[in-house]
Structure 1
Amino acid sequence: MTHPHDAQPDPADYHPRGDSRQLSDSSSPTPAELTDCLFFSPEDGRIWLNDQRMLLLHSSSFGALRREIIERLGLEQARGLFTRTGYGCGARDARLIRERWPHADAAAVFRAGTHLHTLEGMAKVQPLHFKFDADSGFYEGEFLWHHSCEADEHLAAYGIGQDPVCWTEIGYAIGFVSGLFGQMVIFREVQCRGMGHDCCRVIGKTAEQWGDVGQDLGYLNASQAVPRPDVALQPGTPPAKAATGSAPPTLIGASAAFNAASQALQRVALTPATVLISGESGVGKEMFARQLHQLSRRRDSPFVALNCAAIPDNLIEAELFGVERGAYTGATHSRPGRFERAQGGTLFLDEITCLSLPGQSKLLRALQEREIERIGGVREIKVDVRVVAATNIDLRQAVADGSFREDLFYRLNVYPIALPPLRERRDDIPLLIDAFLKRFCQDYARTPAGLTMRALKVLLRYPFPGNVRELQNLIERGLIASDDGQPIDLVHLFRNEPMPSDPYEVDGHGSLSTAALRQAASAATAAPALLETLGQQDPGFSIEGLEARLVTEALQHSAGNLAAAARLLGLSRAQFAYRLKKHQRRGQNPSVSSTA
């Protein structure tokens, strides 16, 4: 997803080259910055690496699963399965790094894979050296893997063997480096603890440099040609902008709850059955209804929506069935109702429980007889309309309470679809954030910037009582409240509401901590008093001047190294560079020689 940096570069223009021997330890992304991407949400049973959900799994359980798969499929098929699994993990992490640090030094980006691989607990990765040039198609790297989980579990199950056994980790290395490099880079394990060596040693080269890679590719079930990274690494990515014109809005989601509702929708779409969609306010009932219409055989006919709660009882009949001229005072001309306007298509009735009992009776007759009569009319009008109803309350309870007709309930409840609230489909939140950001950046002609890590962490744990509609509003509000090209933070999202509770994150010692947000909250509380004090000490004080001074002193303290200066201020390199250039243009910051 999008993150707090400048506009992302086009992957087609990405031609990395680098050498690990020329790489500074302070170059972003650093191990500390990568560790900050890992946080825990124990209240709802989720662990996140940036916007990807992770699992904390017992190594012995992984070993048991691995052993059973080997015994059921055989060594060769099991090796392919685990290699492909690792490849997918590496490709996803490559996407994370590319999107979160789009302007980082190429060698630092490649090195980040070793830190992530270590952070995720499969092995401690020690790079010996790596060098690459995408323009000439050259890559060569050598790494040591210490404490390989896969080797440990294989040794426990089978003892020392004659072949390397770190299949998942090899797949990860291939997926990560190939995703960044833009062509297939094959890694081979030339030493392995599963073969009795002290540690595992792997070598990576391009497929062309190795020559014979048929067996390697066979485990990946892939051809030698690799799609561009933006294609290869983004299956299921939501569209870049909201649909316009006659195209229907695209439903966005990948969670199990969302997929269950989507599959139910597809199953009923081609039938003429009446559909009842239930779910809390803001879950997207009308969007699902529109998608149902687009998937049906009625897609070329009208889709007409009516919110029953928005129409007074004395007008609902006229809205549904239409009016003949002279039917009542003020009826100066005939007017078709929603049923006639939806002829041949779909009529969506939202908040169906808001219909009065007389209105429910007339709707039931229209559904049963497939004909209507306008108010003041003298003839029956045949209608061919598919009705999709929606409710945010329990209709069975409404029937029991006597506020909803039982016979109408059974007429509507032919094929029910329950839409889950957003808090039950948290895996979809990153996809929705990304889609909303792109849409509103286009609508408001803003430069894409994204969310700070702190804001993303809070949103991934926020209960969203208003569901998808509330998330959409928060993102739109955040974009409006933030400066163009700058990341959206918590203060932009939650302006009048109570600030959500702190998420758990990993501190520098590998422990769960909430200190970072508590410090931020403390700073926010102290800010008014601090500003008042500064203003009294210096009548010419301004926020812009203070920022210019901080930027200058941080750059001087770090001897002109932008990345080091950025870390001093808790900023990314791109954010720091933006502020430096801004103050240099305004003449508030002296010219300082800087290095990457």
Structure 2
Amino acid sequence: MKSRETLISLAEASRRASKILTRGASSELGTGAAPTFEDLTEALHFALGDGRIWLNDQRMVLMQSLVLGRLRAEIIDAFGTEAAKAIFMRVGYMQGLRDAELIQKRFPNEDLTHALAAGPRVHTLEGFVKVTTKHFEFDGTRGTYFGEFYWDESSEAAEHIASYGLASEPVCWLQTGYPSGYTTQLFGKPVIFREIECAGMGAKRCLVVGQHADAWGRDAPEREYFGLEWKNRRSYPARTVKTQNAEPVAGPDGDGIAVGVSASFVRTRLLLQKVAETEATVLFVGESGVGKELFSNQLHEMSRRAKGPFVAINCAAIPENLVESELFGVEKGAFTGATSSRPGYFERASGGTLFLDEVASLTYSAQGKLLRALQERKIERVGAARTTHVDVRVVAASNVDLAEEVAANRFRQDLYFRLCVFPIAIPPLRERRDDIPLLMAHFLSTYSKRHGKTVTGFTRRAADALLKYDYPGNIRELQNLVERGVVYADEGGQIDVIHLFAGSEPLPGFTVNLSREGRLGFTPFDLTRSLSGGGSAQEPVPFEDVERQTYQAALTRTKGNVAAAARELGISRAKLDYRLKRLGLATTA
């Protein structure tokens, strides 16, 4: 008996084939195929008062179209049309590539057809042009792609007409580069788009066509514009830039990280590079948890003393009566119990770097002994009759303002000037939020490997919370939050807010995002206003209150059906039962 032929959806075919679809076309997509505009707008957040706009974990900026048009005109006038065209196509290409990476990260389970279909929506969301898909199809096995798209209301065409009038050739260079970069990143092979009709030439709307690079022939100038080939490096030199997706430089334990992209972090890094090759004493100043020891280790690795030892000591951990023996060593028989001679930290670090953390915690008498060692470069072991020369570079760190400690007579002024030859202030994490996505990805990878778990990433709510949180414990606290999330999250799942904040930390106020109507509004999960009696949305709220409200709302919507509420929340029935019982919300049968 013949089996009945069954029709299945594209998404189901993708699941059955383990998401490996080598062919696809836009005609196979259903109406409202994910990710929809609503899905994408949920990724766009406005951190009001914080000076940042986020598209998932990528920082965005708002810029007037008029300003971009003016800049475009000045580049054309200064360098010519061809150079301007190459520059703007390259910028658009990089923008499209980054947005494709965003789609891959935020919607990792979507097949290639759906991911390609999301490109026009992201492009439209960013405000440059309204994109309508006419048709696209691809065959990954054969390496072929073909697509046609309509563009309406191109801001680039409008700005060109305002500056130069109607053009004799297509002028939407930035927008042409965008789908080229986006499709190339997803398809895995070079795809080049060209504008066939352009509103800047008087057409009603723009029409663009994209094909795999070989279909355009070998003389396609876009290959050079997009960096696929560089025929003339003098005209368009390529430069390798370390981006947020670059492999981070980890500390000795694999947890720390000494790389970033924020302006404040880059300034700190440049200061480190300036002083590394010298013998100057360096004083690191910053809050607890910002990575002062890690920076000190990096300084050592960059210096001429890199082959020597790096010895770190926490001055706050040395008992007052043992400071001298710990720093300078002790001779056999110097006191009761000294059964053998022992070198101190200065001798152990000879030829390398000695890192003195929390130096402000040393007693006044201990500060005097340290000053003498720094000035004379000689030490004397406890109970010894001779001095020993030491070749060591001293790097100190403090989480308090030493100048204020000097003014309060708690720190020696002469020692302060001896240590503060080259001060470097390390900014707290809340002042370098652009580095948070990089740190999140690094710690997620580190702890997933360490604990043997597969965690696919962070939910929108979790990423939103981590970007907004103030981190009183700085990088160390972010590190702990991510490790907690990896341990708490389900195998093969994502880290959510409930996996990060255990109850002792106040839940941060969520950023503002776009509503369906295109207006700024708070996300549905932001319950700070209702829980604080109508107070400010930035007011921190205990997470337990938010968790209780979330479960109560889910139970209300499902009319008390716990299983349905669990499905809605994306957790198992057993987990929801446990959490309801813990919060005192469980109902008796």
Task: Report the TM-score range of the alignment, normalised by the length of the smaller protein.
Answer: 0.7 to 0.9
Contact 2:152 2:206 in 1 (8 A): yes
Structure 2 counterpart of 1:183: 189
CA distance in 1, matches of 2:380, 2:125: 69
The Cα offsets for residues 191-248 of structure 1, whole Å up to 9 and x where unpaired, read as: 11110101111000111111144322232343189xxxxxx99945243795668x99
* SS in structure 1 at match of 2:375: helix
Shift of 1:524: 3.6
Alignment of 1:525 onto 2:548: yes
Structure number with the higher helix fraction is: 1
State whether residues 283 and 424 of structure 2, in contact with CA within 8 Å, keep that contact through their aligned partners in structure 1.
Answer: yes
Q: 1:156 aligns with which of 159, 162, 171?
A: 162
Partner of 1:264: 271
Tell me if 1:288 matches 2:311: no
8 Å CA contact 2:281–2:420 kept in 1: the answer is yes
Cross-structure match for 1:255 = 262
The equivalent of 2:38 in structure 1 is: 32
Partner of 2:138: 132
Q: Identify the match of residue 408 of structure 2 among 401, 418, 423.
A: 401
Q: Structure 1 residue 347: deviation in Å?
A: 0.4
**Within 5 Å, which residues of 2 pair with 1:551-566?**
none
Residue 99 (structure 2) pairs with residue 76 (structure 1): no
Equivalent pair of 1:179/1:233 in contact (CA under 8 Å):
no
SS in 1 for 2:495: coil
Structure 1 counterpart of 2:363: 356
Q: Indicate whether 1:475 and 2:482 are aligned.
A: yes
How far 1:17 sits from its partner (Å)?
2.6
The answer (yes or no) to whether the contact 2:354–2:392 under 8 Å persists in 1 is yes
C-alpha separation between the residues in 2 aligned to 1:131 and 1:234? Answer: 34
Aligned counterparts of 2:163 and 2:228: Cα–Cα separation in 1 = 30
In structure 1, the residue corresponding to 2:137 is in which secondary structure? strand
CA RMSD of aligned residues (A): 2.9
Match for residue 204 of structure 1? 210
- Map 1:397-546 to 2 at 5 A: 397-495=404-502, 496-518=504-526, 524-526=547-549, 545-546=563-564
> Is residue 255–residue 426 contact of structure 1 (8 Å, CA) maintained in 2?
yes
Tell me the distance in 2 between the aligned counterparts of 1:109 and 1:248. 33
| 3-state SS of paired residue (1:104) | coil
* Alpha-carbon shift at residue 283 of structure 1 (Å): 0.6
Provide the C-alpha distance between the structure 2 equivalents of 1:271 and 1:15, rounded to a whole number of angstroms.
57
Question: Which residue among 381, 384, 395 is the counterpart of 1:377?
Answer: 384
1:368 to 2:375 alignment: yes
- For residues 256-295 of structure 1, the C-alpha deviation after alignment (integer angstroms, 9 at most, x for no partner) is 1111111111121121111111111111000000111111
Letter aligned with residue 133 of structure 2? P
Moved more, 94-103 or 345-354: 94-103
Q: Does the aligned pair in 1 maintain the 2:20–2:111 contact within 8 Å?
A: no
> Does the alignment pair 1:51 with 2:57?
yes
**Does the aligned pair in 1 maintain the 2:256–2:291 contact within 8 Å?**
no
Residues in 2 aligned to 1:399 and 1:456: alpha-carbon distance in whole angstroms: 42
Corresponding residue of 1:339? 346
Contact preservation (8 Å) 1:84, 1:219: yes
Residue 73 of structure 1: how far off its partner (Å)? 1.8
Q: 1:15 to 1:310 in 2, by over 3 A?
A: farther
C-alpha distance in 1, partners of 2:465/2:524?
13
Q: Size of the alignment, in residue pairs? A: 533
Unaligned runs of 5+ in 2: 1-14, 232-239, 532-545, 576-589
1:18–1:570 distance in 2 versus 1, CA, 3 Å: farther
Distance in 2 (alpha carbons) for counterparts of 1:333 and 1:411: 33
What residue in structure 2 maps to residue 237 of structure 1? 245
Kindly state the Cα deviation for residue 505 of structure 1 after the two structures are TM-superposed. 1.1
Check whether the contact 1:27–1:105 (CA below 8 A) recurs between aligned residues: no
CA distance in 1, matches of 2:430, 2:301: 27
Question: Which residue identity lines up with residue 75 of structure 1 in the other structure?
Answer: T
Q: Aligned partners of 2:332 and 2:183: how far apart in 1?
A: 72
Change in CA separation of 1:527 and 1:434 when aligned onto 2, cut-off 3 Å: closer
- The aligned amino acid for 1:258 is F
Out of 29-38 and 482-491, give the one that drifted further: 482-491
CA contact (8 A) 1:92 1:233 kept: no
Where relative contact order (Cα < 8 A, 6+ residues apart) is larger, the structure is 1
Task: Give the % identical residues.
Answer: 48
Counterparts in 2 of 1:471 and 1:530: CA distance versus 1, 3 Å: closer
- Distance of 2:518 and 2:130 partners within structure 1: 15
Distance 2:356 2:554 in 1: 54
Change (3 A) 1:301 1:262: same
Q: Distance in 1 between matches of 2:89 and 2:552?
A: 57
8 Å Cα contact 2:309-2:351 kept in structure 1 = yes
Q: Are 2:197 and 1:174 equivalent residues in the alignment?
A: no
Q: 1:527 to 1:448 in 2, by over 3 A?
A: closer
Provide the secondary structure at the position in 2 that maps to 1:127.
strand
Task: Specify whether residues 467 and 277 from structure 1 end up closer, same or farther in structure 2 by C-alpha distance, changes over 3 A only.
Answer: same
Tell me the secondary structure at the aligned position of residue 332 of structure 1. Answer: coil
- SS of 1:305's equivalent in the other structure is strand
TM-score, with normalisation over the residues of structure 2? 0.85
> 1:460: Cα distance to partner?
0.8
Q: Is the 8 A contact 1:83 1:219 kept in 2?
A: yes
Q: Work out the CA distance in 2 between the residues paired with 1:250 and 1:525.
A: 36
Distance 1:60 1:365, change over 3 A: same
Contact 1:241-1:435 within 8 A present in 2 as well? no
Once the two structures are TM-superposed, the CA of residue 498 in structure 1 deviates from its matched residue by 2.1
With structure 1 as the length reference, what TM-score do the two structures score? 0.84
SS at match of 2:458: coil
Secondary structure class of the residue paired with 2:506: coil
Q: Distance in 2 between matches of 1:191 and 1:57?
A: 26
Q: Tell me the alpha carbon deviations over residues 136-169 of structure 1, each in whole angstroms, 9 at most, x when there is no partner.
A: 1100000011111111111111110101111111
1:415, 1:376 → 2: CA distance? 34
Q: What pairs with 1:68-107 in structure 2 (closer than 5 Å)?
A: 68-107=74-113
Return closer, same or farther for 1:119/1:323 CA change in 2, 3 Å cut-off.
Answer: same
Rate the CA distance shift 1:365–1:14 in 2: closer, same or farther, 3 A.
farther
Whether contact under 8 Å (1:89, 1:175) holds in the other structure is yes
The one-letter code of the counterpart of 2:172 is C
Give 2:70's match in structure 1, choosing from 64, 69, 91. 64
Distance 1:164 1:461 in 2: 42
Determine if contact 2:257/2:439 at 8 Å carries over to the other structure.
no
Amino acid in the other structure paired with 1:217: R
Pairing 1:141–2:164 present: no
Q: Secondary structure of 2:221's match?
A: helix
Q: Is the partner of 1:518 in helix, strand or coil?
A: coil
- Partners of 1:500 and 1:142 in 2: how far apart? 44
Counterpart AA for 2:84: A
User: How far off its partner does 1:28 sit?
Assistant: 2.5
After superposition, the Cα gap between the structure-2 partners of 1:418 and 1:37, relative to the gap in structure 1 and judged at 3 Å, is same
Tell me what 2:280 maps to.
273
1:222 partnered with 2:245: no
CA contact (8 A) 1:241 1:439 kept: no
8 Å Cα contact 2:172-2:198 kept in structure 1: yes
With 106-115 and 206-215 compared, the bigger mean Cα shift is at 206-215
Q: 1:88 to 1:527 in 2, by over 3 A?
A: closer
How far apart, in 2, do the equivalents of 1:482 and 1:26 lie? 30
Matched, 1:390 2:390: no
Structure-2 change in CA distance of 1:221 and 1:483 (3 Å): closer
Query: Residue 249 of structure 1 contacts residue 291 of structure 1 at CA under 8 Å; is this kept in 2?
Result: no
Structure 1 position 318, deviation (Å)? 1.4
C-alpha spacing 1:36/1:531, structure 2 compared with 1 (3 Å): closer
